[in-house]
Structure 1
Amino acid sequence: MAATGFGALDGIRVIDLTQMLAGPFCTQLLADQGAEVIKIEPLEGDNTRTSGPFHADDRLRAFGGYYASVNRNKRSIAIDLKTEEGKKILLDLIASADVLVENYRAGVMDRLGLGYEALRARNPRLVYGAIRGFGDPRTGASPYADWPAFDVVAQAMGGLMQITGPDRDTPIKVGPGVGDLMPAAMCAFGILAAVVHAGKTGRGQFVDVSMVDSVLSLCERIVHQHAFQNVVPHPEGNRHPLIAPFGLFRAADGWVTIACHTDAWWALLCRLIGRGDLIDDPRTATSPARVAHRDLVYDEIGAFTATKTKAELLALLGGKVPFGPVYDVADIVADPHFKARDMVVALPHPGLDRPIAVAGIPIKMTETPGAVTRHAPLLGQDTDAILAELGRSPERIAALRSAKAVG
């Protein structure tokens, strides 16, 4: 096993059978914290390798930004799991693995003879993580278990779109793929909980995460609103439905956010913008009053912010009340916060003569900080090394490659 040593998960081996976004982001979270992640790809590779976007100067075009952003810190071996030799290689890897993660549709691995029960027989300590649109029948048989799903489906059915939009009649998809990224984070958490349990008991388990369920958990507020208030929430535009002010305000050159919903924050905001009269106004003096008269609240604050630039508002309000300008990615790259926190990381990229940036690690730890140490792998970059670790001779590796069992 390749040594890592920089993260809390050093010594944990993860077999990564994932593709697209949700699964690879889950396993990258583990890799960033020091786990050895072996990405098993079909001979043609994860199809996001060819999705781009490609840098204009990329001579190789082995993979684009999509793949690069969610597959760093991993090793790659290309295996045809439909061949008997390919299956044997996976089973040999499972014998020394702590975790396997896949995000195929329900039943795919079972039809290959590589389902959880078969792999558990090989390694009782194995933690098997699965991310599917509607979950796996092993933990709760959804009537939609066989349906394919992507981010947009999870956002729609998990409740997120119905509370996102400019008005109550216009649902909108959230920009980032939270229908993939939320289940990815949930699965990583579930995997680590199961690894701890396996360390205590010697027994692994099946960790099942539904994309739709994960989005619903992200939208937990709609459930308690329905249960406690008997309402069906709808899009509220850029305002919070229960507190005010808590949302977006137009500036002279863009937009800013202000969250001064408590009475203390509200009073301070009013003084900072020269509107002390609003502190004692019965329509705005208390939190319930501000919610009842939210249009007035937003109109009065917005009339002030519209006369100032984002920089001027930052100088006036930043650090004094909960405030933040709406950033684009150029603002993010230039901001000292993200530099201090190493949240934009430059990595070498095959086919380019200079490093190229990806998002950094958001989880900061003092003793085992994790690290971004390796760019996303070329397809089959580590096939020979991994097979050699499993005891295959150079001649045997060449034969496997000739037979197209590996690539």
Structure 2
Amino acid sequence: MNGPLDGIVVVDLTRALSGPYATMLLADLGADVIKVESPAGDSARGTGPFPSDDEDHHYGGYFQSVNRNKRSVVVDLRSPEGTAAVRRLAADADVLVENFRAGVMDRMSLSYESLRCDNPRLVYGALRGFGDPRTGTSPHVDRPAFDVVAQAMGGLMGITGPPYQPTKVGAGIGDVFPATLLAVGVLAALTDRARTGHGRFVDVAMYDAIVSLCERTVYQHSYTGAVPTGEGNDHPLLCPFGLYRTADGWVTVAAPRDHQWQALCTALGRPDLAEDPRYATNNARVAVRDKVRAVIEEWTTQRTSAQVVAAVAADVPCGPVNTAADLYADPHLRAREMLVDIEHPGSARTVTVAGQPIKFAGSGAAVHHRAPLLGEHTAEILGPGTSAG
């Protein structure tokens, strides 16, 4: 099935997680993403897990998840033939995306400026730890970065977990959020190109993206002079808004608005609290957050998580803390095509990857094809017998 980006050709020079996630978003939306890999392949191919019956190990779950719907060509960028092959691809492409350190593409004679000379309509997307000098030179420009570095420097770890105990977010959000912003930037540049006829250089720094994600800490410090720290599972400005113990686990409950608090109080059997000035407004409840927690948990700990959700979720935002097994058991995710089964080379069974959350009415699942084998489409794209180094 054709997606909204059908006909858009993307040359993908990315590896690991951040860049491939950005180009995966474009591929899921229908773009023809040509993944350019070295003869050794993206290093992520060797990262598991692997199906138990897979003895070939063409790639593991890490690579499969963010490289589905792409085609792969092998090109040796250390050779003149390899760089010439990339230049040919870029000359006919709509988008090129890379996540090398600043200056690497320039040293390979594949700079944005030179590629733009061949193809003025090219949208060039760059994703780096600390950005590209073309959009603002950082004193950290030459440093490498990974997810955990972006989470730490961008302030996310400092406001996650218990007070003054920085905690890494479990998902690779230091990669995934910058990648998502880069995809947004690429789409904006394509829209601009439709008006002007010219492409643009689009740059996202992982550090910048996480600062943007942590926007609340920026204005809090500006307005109050405070240095926000971890709030555990509570919210510094909203109450109740957090995690609460049940008889068999945990649930999240968020009732900062007056009507939500009133509905929650009714479910708790404490309608008096909705009128009590110590609890009646969000700002009042924030000041007595521990007492609010005690009232809620007096009720929730006498009930299972499922019972709590059933009692309040219709009127109050509430949900269980799901494990991976819980996700597979929730009919919502299958109904919304957020758990998608695809083949895995070397295995007799299918594997499941997270689906595409961007939905379009009248369209089916965005995930159609497994990740490619290394160089699987080299002859198809570059031509039979083509040497790319």
1:118 counterpart = 2:92: no
1:383 counterpart = 2:378: yes
1:341 counterpart = 2:341: no
2:304 to 306, 309, 313: 309
2:366 to 362, 371, 374: 371
Alignment of structure 1 residues 117-156 onto 2, 5 Å? 117-156=113-152
Which residue pairs with 2:181 in the alignment? 186
Which residue pairs with 1:391 in the alignment? none
Provide the secondary structure at the position in 1 that maps to 2:62.
helix
Which residue pairs with 2:200 in the alignment? 205
Provide the secondary structure at the position in 1 that maps to 2:71.
strand
2:5 to 6, 9, 17: 9
Equivalent residues of 1:131, 1:209 under 8 A apart: yes
- Distance between the aligned counterparts of 2:382 and 2:145, measured in 1? 34
Q: Which runs of 5+ in 1 are unaligned?
A: 389-393
Which residue pairs with 1:75 in the alignment? 71
1:32 counterpart = 2:35: no
Equivalent residues of 2:337, 2:365 under 8 A apart: no
Q: Which runs of 5+ in 2 are unaligned?
A: none
Provide the secondary structure at the position in 2 that maps to 1:376.
coil
- Distance between the aligned counterparts of 1:368 and 1:300, measured in 2? 46
What are the Cα deviations for residues 308-331 of structure 1, in whole angstroms up to 9, with x where unaligned? Answer: 111111221222211101101111
Runs of 4+ in 1 over 2 A off after TM superposition: 367-370
- Distance between the aligned counterparts of 1:340 and 1:141, measured in 2? 46
Which residue pairs with 1:273 in the alignment? 268
- Distance between the aligned counterparts of 2:166 and 2:294, measured in 1? 24
Which residue pairs with 2:60 in the alignment? 64
Equivalent residues of 1:135, 1:145 under 8 A apart: yes
Percent identity (aligned): 56
Q: CA RMSD in A?
A: 1.1
Provide the secondary structure at the position in 2 that maps to 1:242.
coil
Structure 1 residues 369, 33: CA separation in 2 closer, same or farther (over 3 Å shift)? farther
Which residue pairs with 1:87 in the alignment? 83
Provide the secondary structure at the position in 1 that maps to 2:58.
coil
1:331 counterpart = 2:329: no
Report the more deviating stretch, 319-328 or 278-287.
278-287
TM-fit CA distance, 1:197: 1.0
- Distance between the aligned counterparts of 1:78 and 1:86, measured in 2? 9
Which residue pairs with 2:354 in the alignment? 359
Report the more deviating stretch, 330-339 or 275-284.
275-284
- Distance between the aligned counterparts of 1:369 and 1:241, measured in 2? 41
**Counterpart amino acid of 1:194?**
A
Q: What's the TM-score, normalizing by structure 1?
A: 0.94
What are the Cα deviations for residues 304-360 of structure 1, in whole angstroms up to 9, with x where unaligned? Answer: 111111111122122221110110111111101111100000001101112110000
Equivalent residues of 1:238, 1:247 under 8 A apart: yes
Equivalent residues of 2:260, 2:315 under 8 A apart: no
**Counterpart amino acid of 1:83?**
S
2:279 to 277, 284, 287: 284
Equivalent residues of 1:131, 1:187 under 8 A apart: yes
